[in-house]
Amino acid sequence: MFAKLVEGGTQKEEKQQFFFREGDVMSKKQAKTGYTKVSLVVDFLRGNLHYFVISILSALAVTGIDMITPQLIRSTVDSVIGTEPLDLPAFAVRLVEQIGGVDYLRGHIWAIAVLVVVLAVLAAVFRYLNNMYNTMGAEALVRTMRNKLFSHIQKLPFSWHMKNQTGDIIQRCTSDVEMIKNFISEQLTSVFRIVILIVLSVSFMFSMNVKLAAVAVAFIPVVFGYSLYFHSHIHDRFLECDENEGVLSTIAQENLTGVRVVRAFGREKYEKDRFEKQNNIYTDAWMKLCKLLSLFWGAGDLVSGLQLMTVVVYGSVLCVKDEMTAGAFIAFISYNAMMTWPVRHLGRMVSEMSKAGVSIDRLCYIMNSEAEKDKEDAGTPDMHGDIVFDHVTFGYGDAKVLKDVSFTIPKGTTFGILGSTGSGKSTLMYLMNRLYDLPEGNGRISIGGVDVADMKGEWVRSNIGMVLQEPFLFSRTIAENIGITKEQLTLSDIRQAAAIACVDDSVMEFTQGYDTIVGERGVTLSGGQKQRTAIARMLTQKTPIMVFDDSLSAVDAETDARIRQELRKNLGDSTVILIAHRVTTLMQADCILVLDKGEITEIGTHEQLMEKKGIYHKIYNMQMSLAEQEEE
């Protein structure tokens, strides 16, 4: 049964993909080197297997005790109360003879009752051990699965996260993890006990009456037959439910984190309707699955009822014909009940196996997604050098974002990049920071003469500080958000960075100062405060290269000028790259590059670009004219 289970697994455009359907199909290379269903489950069980082993052994002990009790009742009815010869194993007969034989038991029948109670107590103790260790194993398994998944997701490349939606990833790491836990702890661990129960029950039944046993066993193939029939149908329906739950989780997650945008544009009704529509789709999928499961369980009840009725009727006939004793018939009914439950349980396990198989497949996709890797000889060179983009071409899918781009940023200078939305400004920085790897043959990016592809990714990012246009703040205090880059930062260090970012005064106006909780994604701060907090966070790294990706767009022109002035005074020999739409932010840069549709159209100082009277000149005049109109 276990073998059957485990054998049965442009940037914006990419981000809009809802499911992993294409990614779920592993490549031949992944199939050889990645996880299979078997190896993934085995890996998750490492360190937790002993809990389940103890649970299984305790369950087997309960099974053994359950097998003894009907034999005691049969012998008591037929040989102690009745006059049939004692039909027990040789060692049991000798034990009875040593205490005085059957006559002694007739006079002390309470002793048999005490023995039954003792066996019941022992069974209760082993059941307790079974439940306790099974629960401990299940929770330890969940902990292991979550830790491994979270650790692996942290190592996956930026491009993977761009293609896969957060809500669906969360759903896989919660609902699918829970499904696997339930199957292993509630279904898979009971396989051993079920097999022993079926084998022993059938053996005892055949030893008591072959004809009646044959009738009872004849229904087993029927149970397995309809279980296998429902298996594939349940698998498909559950996969549909699981995927729709991922979509629903994504919608909920996006709306909860973007609640201010929804409220600001009065889109509550639209989002509510969108959620309800997906919720109805998800509910309908589950209704279809429940109807199928109800039919499956109903068929099980019908077959089990027919089997019990047939055994009782035929067994009664055999008793009337004196082909079976009353005690044997009572014991037979007990064994039949013991066999009926595990046979039905195996049938139900088939349906649960379908669900668990889907969940394991979905986790296999995450664990088989290739983690970001450095070259074997990747180094950690000095990052205080010229930055050179040499014939760089790059695109997301078929759309080319950068087309044969070449330029040099001298070390210790301030370099500005201007361009319209979608011109490739941010992509340049993502490639330099190795958030995206530049494919071979698409150019070269070097720092101090060393290709960034030949450096360790962690080293590159620890030496290139980046502030994005939409900064992400954690649901922690302002001090924790600024000081998150290093473990040992004093409040003085944090305030120094905040002062350079011109956010210290604003923070000190808060009642709790730097201990103020910013809320989810910094919801309690204004856009400008969030950007300046992110700038302060990056400044605490004191990296040799600092990138400001349109990170002053939410602050006013006066604050923008103050921040740039403070940066010039405090950044020392760091290379500064300013990406902006506002010309005044770039005017003081040592060199300014103008991008248009992924190509360099102009490059030079502010004065040189103004003399060319090209795109830069037009943008400058337009922005200055708007500024004058606003002042008037």
Q: How wide is the angle at C-alpha 10 spanned by C-alphas 9 and 16, nearest 5°?
A: 50
For the chain, which domains are there? 2-368 (1.20.1560.10), 387-631 (3.40.50.300)
Residue 495 near residue 454, CB atoms below 8 Å: no
Other C-beta atoms lying within 10 Å of the C-beta of residue 235: 20
Query: Where residue 83 falls among pLDDT bands split at 50, 70, 90?
Result: low
What are the Cα distances from residue 240, in Å, to 132, 441, 531, 615?
34, 41, 41, 51
Give Cα 567 to chain centroid, integer Å. 41
- What is the mean pLDDT of the segment spanning 245-252? 80
In this structure, the strands spanning 599-604 and 464-467 are: unpaired
**Those residues with Cβ within 8 angstroms of residue 307's Cβ, 6 or more apart along the chain or in another chain:** 216, 219, 336, 340
171-210 pLDDT, tens digit each: 888 888 988 888 888 777 777 777 777 787 788 788 778 8
Arithmetic mean of pLDDT over the chain: 80
470-483 pLDDT, tens digit each: 778 888 888 888 88
What are the Cα distances from residue 466, in Å, to 426, 463, 494, 542?
11, 10, 17, 11
**What is the per-residue pLDDT for 348?**
66
Query: Where residue 630 falls among pLDDT bands split at 50, 70, 90?
Result: low
**What is the per-residue pLDDT for 584?**
83
**What is the per-residue pLDDT for 557?**
72
44-48, 325-329, 471-475, 528-532: range with lowest mean pLDDT:
325-329
Query: Where residue 29 falls among pLDDT bands split at 50, 70, 90?
Result: very low
1-10, 239-248, 414-423: range with lowest mean pLDDT:
1-10
- What is the mean pLDDT of the segment spanning 563-572? 78
Residue 26 has pLDDT above 50, yes or no: no
Query: Where residue 629 falls among pLDDT bands split at 50, 70, 90?
Result: low
Q: Where are the alpha helices (DSSP H) in 156-209?
A: 158-163, 166-171, 177-182, 191-208
In this structure, the strands spanning 575-580 and 414-419 are: parallel
Tokens 């005044």, residue located: 584
Residue 539 has pLDDT above 80, yes or no: yes
The span from the CA of 354 to the CA of 337, in Å, is: 26
Query: Where residue 93 falls among pLDDT bands split at 50, 70, 90?
Result: low
The span from the CA of 292 to the CA of 287, in Å, is: 9
- Residue 447 is given by DSSP the state E
Query: Where residue 132 falls among pLDDT bands split at 50, 70, 90?
Result: very high
The span from the CA of 51 to the CA of 44, in Å, is: 13
Tokens 């020999």, residue located: 573
Tell me the pTM.
Answer: 0.68
Residue 349 has pLDDT above 90, yes or no: no
**What is the per-residue pLDDT for 11?**
37
**What is the per-residue pLDDT for 329?**
78
Residue 234 near residue 351, CB atoms below 8 Å: yes
Query: Where residue 23 falls among pLDDT bands split at 50, 70, 90?
Result: very low
| 495/87: higher pLDDT | 495
Q: Is 493 exposed, middle or buried (0-12, 13-18, 19+ CB in 10 A)?
A: middle
| 212/387: higher pLDDT | 387
426-457 pLDDT, tens digit each: 889 989 998 888 888 899 999 999 999 999 98
| Torsion angle of the four alpha carbons 187, 188, 193, 194, in this order, in degrees rounded to the nearest 10 | 60
Structure tokens at 298: 């109903």
The span from the CA of 334 to the CA of 127, in Å, is: 19
Query: Where residue 159 falls among pLDDT bands split at 50, 70, 90?
Result: confident
Max mean pLDDT range (248-252, 322-326, 405-409, 519-523): 405-409
For every residue of 382-438, DSSP letters joined together read ---S-EEEEEEEEEETTEEEEEEEEEEE-TT-EEEEEE-TTSSHHHHHHHHTTSSPP
Residue 58 has pLDDT above 80, yes or no: yes
119-133, 349-363, 504-518, 529-543: range with lowest mean pLDDT:
349-363
- What is the mean pLDDT of the segment spanning 503-531? 81
For residue 13, give the 3-state DSSP assignment: helix
Residue 13 has pLDDT above 50, yes or no: no
- Residue 194 is given by DSSP the state H
Q: Is 393 exposed, middle or buried (0-12, 13-18, 19+ CB in 10 A)?
A: middle
Residue 531 has pLDDT above 70, yes or no: yes
Residue 510 has pLDDT above 60, yes or no: yes
Kindly state the percentage of the chain with pLDDT values over 90: 14
Residue 14 has pLDDT above 50, yes or no: no
Residue 30 has pLDDT above 50, yes or no: no
Residue 521 has pLDDT above 80, yes or no: no
End-to-end CA distance of the chain: 80
> Which run of H or of E encompasses 591?
strand 591-596
Q: In what order do the strands lie in the sheet with 575-580?
A: 464-467, 545-549, 575-580, 414-419, 591-596, 599-604
Its sign, for the CA torsion 509, 510, 511, 513, is negative
